[in-house]
Amino acid sequence: MALALLTAFGGGVAAPSANRFGRVSPTTAADVREDLGDDVDVVLDGGPCRVGVESTIVDCSGPDPVVLRPGGVPAERLADILGRPVPADRSGAGRAPGTLPSHYAPRATVELVTAAALPDRAAAHAVAGRSVGVLALGPPNELPAGVVVLGPPDDVERYAHDLYSHLREADARALDVVLAVAPGEAGIGSAVADRLRRAAGARERARTPEGP
């Protein structure tokens, strides 16, 4: 659809992402309309995003390629294509969209936890009177009553595909906190972990309870 639009227009297009700055990315036309409302006149609906997380951005301007933003094409695939590993950019310069320390954030506070710490963190938030959601592969059964399990995704590809819809669901349910267990960094899991770290961002410590 994007190529058809450019062909029909016959010129260049300069445009931002179809969401408010720093907020959760849209994966459907309905998400775009919810975010932007009457600030845009037309929304072209090409169907839901097939991958879920954004594209991989690779800087090829220097002597060695560098991944500026992990995304739908994992580093392992890039290595297969180029015949060598492609490292991630560690400069912290933010040379690509969506690489600020805080980004992709819902209104709910996102807190990254380990699978082992998840039940205790959920209990601490519940005791403090906060409504809690959990986003994890195979979440444990011993969660406090009232905790909302978002999903759960059954594999890392589904985690990537549904990540933003689950964060939007957290806001639709008016949850205070989302406890997220990142998947492993292999394959597209690297992109999911990156988005979760940025969704947690600098806000992570501001509203977490005392305790474990």
Domain boundaries, given as residue ranges, for the chain: 109-203
CA distance 150 to 166: 6
Half-sphere exposure of 196 (CA within 13 A, CB side): 26
Q: What is the pTM of this model?
A: 0.85
Name all contacts of 9-13 with Cβ < 8 Å and 24+ positions apart.
none
pLDDT tens track of the chain, all 212 residues?
A: 888 888 998 888 888 888 888 889 999 999 999 999 999 999 999 999 999 999 999 999 988 899 999 999 999 999 999 999 999 887 766 677 777 777 888 999 999 999 999 999 999 999 999 999 999 998 888 899 999 999 888 899 999 999 999 999 999 999 999 999 999 989 999 999 999 999 998 554 434 444 43
Buried b / exposed e along 52-72 (16+ C-beta atoms within 10 A)? bbbebbbeeeeeebbbbbbbb
Q: Tell me the CATH number for domain 109-203.
A: 3.40.50.11030
